[in-house]
């Protein structure tokens, strides 16, 4: 079977300046919703207020943490001074060892008896 071909006269193609994309391809378009009652200045002012308030809350939180840490530091310094005094007492006084041995461990000297009252 033969395929018939028909002669078409050559036409001049018109140049279309606006359509440069191929048919079938559509680019996504979007637009921001218009907010007639809220201006850009009001939006920026609101954003600034939110940022400042969050920064202020962070400041007060950190200030509270600093106070807690200072109190903890003072407690630790008191504990350190008590322990260093106890260490120096143990180094100088041999009776301090004896006291600790009697109270904590229940030790007694020779020819002594341990009496516990209940």
Identify the burial level of 113 via C-beta atoms within 10 angstroms of its C-beta, where 0-12 means exposed, 13-18 middle and 19 or more buried: exposed
Q: pTM of the entire structure?
A: 0.47
Residue span of the structural domain in which 62 resides: 52-105
Q: Is residue 22 domain-resident?
A: no
Concatenating the DSSP letter of every residue in 22-51 gives: PTT-------PPP-SSS-HHHHHHHHHHHH
Q: Is residue 86 domain-resident?
A: yes
Q: Is residue 20 domain-resident?
A: no
Inter-residue contact 106 to 114 (CB < 8 Å):
yes
Count of structural domains, the chain: 1
Q: Is residue 62 domain-resident?
A: yes
pLDDT (tens place) for every residue of the chain, 118 residues total: 566 666 566 666 655 555 555 566 666 676 666 655 668 888 889 999 999 999 999 999 999 999 999 999 999 999 999 999 999 999 999 888 888 888 888 888 888 887 878 8
Q: Is residue 56 domain-resident?
A: yes
Who contacts 102 (Cβ-Cβ below 8 Å, separation ≥6)?
Answer: 108
């Amino acid at each position: 079977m033969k395929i018939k071909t028909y002669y078409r006269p050559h036409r001049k193609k018109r140049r279309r300046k606006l359509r440069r994309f191929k048919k079938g391809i559509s680019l996504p378009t979007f637009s921001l919703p218009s907010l007639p009652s809220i201006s850009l200045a009001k939006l920026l002012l609101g954003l600034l207020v939110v940022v400042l308030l969050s920064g202020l809350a962070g400041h007060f939180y950190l200030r509270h943490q600093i106070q807690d840490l200072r109190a903890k530091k003072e407690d630790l310094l008191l504990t350190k001074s008590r322990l260093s005094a106890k260490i120096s007492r143990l180094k100088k006084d041999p009776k301090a060892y004896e006291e600790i041995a009697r109270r904590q461990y229940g030790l007694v000297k020779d020819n002594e008896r341990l009496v516990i009252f209940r």
